[in-house]
Structure 1
Amino acid sequence: MSKIMRKIFCLHDIKYSWLLLLSIAFCFLVFYIDRSDMKDPGWLTIGYLLAFALAVVWGVINYIGHIRMNVMYQKQNNIQAYVENLAMSKEDKLELQHYLEDYAADLIKQGKRKNEASKEAINQFKVKEILSLSKDTMLFNLHAHYYLIGWAILAAIVDIIIWLVYGGVYPSSQLLLIIGLILIAYGMGFIALFCGYKLMDSFIYRKINEQLT
């Protein structure tokens, strides 16, 4: 399986799924009432808006939940991990790692704990010249969110199966009809959200670049 396909079907990357499930369940309930005789247009409108609002809130916090501060800007106490993230040759990385480890060893002899010594050694080299060697000097690492496409594909597959069953076996099943329509709605929502996330990524990168230049 290619790298992009692994990203697409890494479905567990989704966050706060309980809130999304709550939105789906609420949408199902309102849709079911809408298809029945117990209709009240005012309450139905509120119900649909609430289900949509829950989905929007999930979309926002799911995006925020995937934002991670760049490792170069985090407090670190792992010399090997720090050096590995620098765009240097293997020989230079090894030399720098030995240097930092020796520096940390001297601090340990002076009475500092290992974690504190490693952190101080790294901080000594977090200057502009070293930081410019980073593979990714953005302040934040933004998730690619390909898993949304995976969920959209999964929704489409399940929806096709449901419509085949609905059309051939249970043509009058209201339950299958509602589930199928909800899968279409949320599947399209995943695709729209993926596009929205990409636009937001572009906006954030542009703003950060403006601040750095």
Structure 2
Amino acid sequence: MKWWNKAFSLNDIKYYWLLVLSIVLCGAFVYWDRMDSPDKTLWLSVGYGASFGLAVLWSGANYVGHIRINAMYRKHNDIQAYVEQLAMNDEDKMELRNYLEDYTQDLMSQGKTKEQATAEAISQFKVKELLSLSKHTSLFDLHAHHYLLGWAAVAFVLLLLLELLDGLLFSHSLLTMIVESILAAYGAAFIMLFFIYKVLDVWVYRKLNSHLS
């Protein structure tokens, strides 16, 4: 079920209100576009442009909102919490925890507070690790963004169901047309955005590696 949670997670959509605003604005102007209103070309251009601009703004904010500092580079003041998030087996974690606690006690005997001693012990260990891992460990953890493909699939399934229902009922209502247009546009945009994010990931990794190497 882990893949299901990744593909259909709403929590992974950051700044969702920007996306919702873009969708609502797009729907409103598609509706107006179908109305017989004179001299509306300029306002339609403004409306569609604003909707697209909000979507672009959301895509950028969403990407940045998922970037997290790699755990190895974060500041830690708790030995237990630091050791637990490391990719080690239980035996190695216990050995490291004992080492850090002993080192902390030595620093405390030199007059440092427990918090200062803990932070320094962890920092000293991280320096050794980073010297050996920095060339192979990225500064940032980048999200896989599987939810984009998941919700794109949902959009196209809903689009197909609406098409079938519309064909069976012969309704061809304006509301159905607007919803179908939005599902098609944003579903396709999610798929494109997934690949754009992947290209950005490669670019970010290369930039970081060039600066850290």
Give the TM-score range, shorter chain.
0.7 to 0.9
Equivalent residue, structure 1, for 2:7: 8
CA–CA distance in 2 between the matches of 1:122 and 1:107? Answer: 12
CA–CA distance in 2 between the matches of 1:48 and 1:179? Answer: 16
CA–CA distance in 2 between the matches of 1:88 and 1:8? Answer: 28
| Deviates most, 154-163 or 97-106 | 97-106
**Mapping of 1:1-213 within 5 angstroms?**
1=1, 3-39=2-38, 40-86=40-86, 90-107=90-107, 110=111, 112-113=113-114, 115-127=115-127, 129-131=128-130, 132=132, 137-169=137-169, 171-213=171-213
Contact 1:26 1:51 in 2 (8 A): yes
CA–CA distance in 2 between the matches of 1:12 and 1:159? Answer: 23
Contact 1:72 1:82 in 2 (8 A): no
| Deviates most, 10-19 or 98-107 | 98-107
Q: Give the Å deviation of 1:79.
A: 1.6
CA–CA distance in 2 between the matches of 1:71 and 1:18? Answer: 29
Deviations 1:71-119 (A, max 9, x none): 1111111223433455656444322210111233455564624x44322
Deviations 1:40-94 (A, max 9, x none): 1111111111100000000000000000011111111122343345565644432
Same amino acid, percent of matched pairs = 52
Provide the aligned length of Structure 1 versus Structure 2.
210
Query: What value does the CA root-mean-square deviation take over the aligned residues?
Result: 2.3
Q: Aligned partner of 2:61: which letter?
A: I
Q: Aligned partner of 1:44: which letter?
A: L
CA–CA distance in 1 between the matches of 2:184 and 2:206? Answer: 33
| Deviates most, 82-91 or 172-181 | 82-91
Contact 1:88 1:133 in 2 (8 A): no
The unaligned stretches of length 5 or more in structure 1 are none
TM-score, normalised relative to structure 1? 0.88
TM-score, normalised relative to structure 2? 0.88
